[in-house]
Structure 1
Amino acid sequence: MSIYADLVCTQCDVRLWLGKVIHHGDANPIYFHAGPADEAPNWARDELNAVLWKLLAEHARHPLRVVVEGDADGPPTDASVELGGDRGVDISFGDYLAGWPGLR
């Protein structure tokens, strides 16, 4: 059974899906991986990294949490905005990064 995680701004109810929790025998993640096993690691994905850095900058001084499926406080709400998600309330990576000066 796979367990997944999100980086969540609990103040703004915005989240970034981090992918599958990879661990070795205990519940503590050692890293996260989005997509199939043969997909590049998260750190090697330029667009994902840009979204992460913009999220960190925009939500500085906000309460940020890595929420893992099964945590006592539960997953993000259905009303939360997912960066890169495909629901009507979500924001695509392209739209989120459009015009951001952090890309140079």
Structure 2
Amino acid sequence: MRVDDHSEPLDELRRLLGLERAYALAMAADDLVGAGDFDAAVPLYERAAALAPESDELVFWAGIGLAGSDLEGGVAKIRQAAGINPNWLILLDRLSPEFAPAGAEVRRALGR
């Protein structure tokens, strides 16, 4: 990774490292969701979203994960992500239960 062409290379490096940490947490949370451990996944998704608040993607996936144990909270996060990028709702419609175990409930809550 090179940041030497950025106007503030150290700031850019910090930003990129923060994103890497956020996505590592999100992937660990994905693994927990895949194993059915929603309660353990939720704090990881929330930490990931907090590390990269500008990432609507992490907010969306945090909502998907949260919906397994807190449908209302998950729907709120998905609405937040979709407010930034409405294409998240299209993805939501396409996700299989393997990727979004609570997807059907989320879609119903959103009127989709």
Structure 1 or 2: more strand by fraction: 1
Q: Which has the higher contact order (CA 8 A, sep 6+)?
A: 1
Q: TM-score band (shorter)?
A: under 0.3
Q: Higher Cα Rg: structure 1 or 2?
A: 2
Give the structure-1-normalised TM-score.
0.28
